[in-house]
Amino acid sequence: MKKPTAKKKKVPKNPEETKEWINRTLKRIHRKMIKLFGVDFTYFSDIKIIKQSEILTQLTELIRNDLKRNGVVYSDIQWKQIRESLSKNQVTGFFENLAFYNPKDEVLYINEKMMTNHPEKIIPVCTHELSEKLLSTYLSSPLRTPTRTLFEAYVEAKMTENTRKLYELLNTHTDIIFKSVFKEGVCEAIALQTLRHIDSEMMKAAPLEKELQIGHSKCIDVLFDLDNAKRNIERIEKTQARPNEKRRRIQAIDEEKLVKETLRSSQIIKGLSYYLGYPLAKAVVEKYGIRGAKLALEKYPPLKTQYFANPQAYLTRLEKLTTFNK
């Protein structure tokens, strides 16, 4: 969750007391989630409050292992450069308010700076991680990440010199971005719906939802840019069959530009996905529940910006499907 507007709350200052307070509160939220959504998922195996440098190490290692499993290997020097890039000033604020769980050991990691600088964010952010865990349990298979999909698509196209394959996979990549935005929105909807049922001042959901709605209205245009990118992919693909050597050279430049622009867009959208996906996901979850969110993610994903700008248009589409009305 991003920038909730609730007033700061006092939390225990002692690290062990803070950890116990978070653990006790989250276990209560975990029980409420299971009851509300009917999904019996496991709690975190442990909670660790760690320094920002350790956060960067953990995230870098997660990325590294994920790529290694898919045959992508970088040198230690390259990973050092990646880690240094992550720690630049422009993303420091993001990491300061970060919590994430590692699916491998199911540990919830929390940046210690959030304890002192933004205590009002602790429970909302960790509740989102709980909802991520619930959803990953409920889905039939894990969703692929947009960045990894684009990287794999580009490597495959370059190795086989199959330009058409690149355009096909870029189109698939943009669809995955839409699905990823909706997934993050579903997690936020699950989190806020749970917080609404917890009678505590610390967990009031109204200011959090207001922030999401305001953020959505400010950020929605970025998805329309993605629509334009899809049209550019289709336009460039049509020129592929031309044999002219100059055309091939121009096209090679266009390929590089297209991949970079698509990757840049996906990274921006990833950072805004909470805002972009929440209104639509909320509409689906409130009307069809967690089952409807699962069906939407796995079988009928919203792959058009118009659905995120106007959730009712997507609900109207779902109403026509017999699967959603059984």
HEC letters along the chain: CCCCCCCCCCCCCCHHHHHHHHHHHHHHHHHHHHHHHCCCCCCCCEEEEECHHHHHHHHHHHHHHHHHHCCCCCCHHHHHHHHHHHCCHHHHHHHHCCEEEECCCCEEEEECHHHHHCHHHHHHHHHHHHHHHHHHHHCCCCCCCHHHHHHHHHHHHHHHCCHHHHHHHHHHHHHHHHHHHHHHHHHHHHHHHHHHCCCCHHHCCHHHHHHHHHHHHHHCHHHHHHHHHHHHHHHHHHCCCCCCHHHHHHHHHHHHHHHHHHHHHHHHHHHHHHHHHHHHHHHHHHHHHHHHHHHHHHCCCCCCHHHHHCHHHHHHHHHCCHHHHC
> In this structure, what token pair is assigned to residue 74?
């970088």
Calpha distance 150→163 (Å, rounded)? 14
Tell me the β-bridge partners of 50: 111
Q: Are 280 and 178 in contact (CB under 8 A)?
A: no
Nearest to 54 by CA among 106, 11, 113: 113
Instruction: Write the pLDDT tens digit of every residue in 93-112.
Output: 556 677 888 888 899 998 88
Calpha distance 285→12 (Å, rounded)? 35
pLDDT of residue 132: 93
Q: Rank 163-177, 243-257, 302-316 by mean pLDDT and report only the highest.
A: 302-316
**pLDDT tops 60 at residue 146:** yes
Tell me the β-bridge partners of 167: none
CA dihedral sign of residues 295, 300, 305, 310 = negative
Name which of 70-74, 171-175, 182-186, 205-209 the model is least confident about: 70-74
Instruction: Return the higher-pLDDT residue of 65 and 213.
Output: 213
Instruction: Write the pLDDT tens digit of every residue in 78-89.
Output: 667 666 665 654
* Confidence label for 206 from pLDDT (cuts 50, 70 and 90): confident
pLDDT of residue 302: 94
pLDDT of residue 268: 81
CA dihedral 166, 172, 173, 174 (to 10 degrees): 120
Q: Are 61 and 18 in contact (CB under 8 A)?
A: no
pLDDT of residue 210: 87
pLDDT of residue 238: 65
